[in-house]
Amino acid sequence: MRSRARWIVLLVLFLATEATGFHRCSAQDPLPTVVQLPTFQFFTFSGSVLVPDGGGMYLGGNKTSAIGSSRRGLNRSFGQSQRLSQATAHAQIIDLNAMDRQLLGGTPKEFLRRQRNPAVLDRTSNPDDEGKALVRHARKLYQRGDKTGAFDTYRMAIGVLRSSRLQELAKIEFRRVFGTAADQSLHTTSLGR
């Protein structure tokens, strides 16, 4: 009778472990792993600041530190941690009007006149004016040392100019400034014709 009671108890224990999913780990079962989740801390800033062009401004920050020690018998250990969170603002002002003035050439007064009346420099109204402005801009680029930009701008001006006399003058100046490189560029494209 005792052996029969043992078998019943073992059977009940076996069924209970199977139902709860608790059983011995076999070689095929993966080992349990510990995943440490990250912690996040946030702070906000609300307000306004004046930042100079190309400069930066420190808006604020949050610094935390913790120091701890523990003692086990004669052994003593110390620990320390520090965290720093900060917010900064950087500004870069892009003046599109100044960039247009540089590309189109001319004085700021001429640029304002063109900006108020767009028909003054319109590709369909007078492409020779645009070509002249491009030649002036190419000269400025060459004087500043930007030879690649000047080379490309001369080529663009020659392509835009419609008057054969102005186009010839632009080609002569292009050849005078860049020599054989200008000749090769004019001969390999349709600009030389």
- Of residues 178 and 16, more confidence is placed in 178
Distance CA 141, CA 153 (A): 9
65 DSSP β-pair partners: 82
**Hunting for tokens 């090769």 — which residue is that?**
184
Distance CA 56, CA 53 (A): 8
Domains of the chain, by residue range, sit at 96-192
Phi, psi for 135 (deg, rounded to 5): -65, -45
In this structure, are residues 53 and 92 in contact, taking their beta carbons and an 8 Å threshold? yes
The burial of 140, by beta-carbon neighbours within 10 Å (0-12 exposed, 13-18 middle, 19 or more buried), is given as: middle
Handedness of CA 120, 125, 126, 130 (dihedral sign): positive
168 pLDDT more than 70: yes
pTM: 0.37
In this structure, are residues 124 and 114 in contact, taking their beta carbons and an 8 Å threshold? no
- Of residues 107 and 25, more confidence is placed in 107
Distance CA 145, CA 78 (A): 63
Q: What is the predicted pLDDT for the residue at 122? A: 46
Per residue in 63-120, pLDDT tens? 888 787 777 777 777 778 788 778 888 888 887 777 776 777 667 677 677 666 654 4
pLDDT level of residue 22 (50, 70, 90 thresholds):
low
161 pLDDT more than 50: yes
CB-side exposure of 95: number of CA atoms within 13 Å? Answer: 8
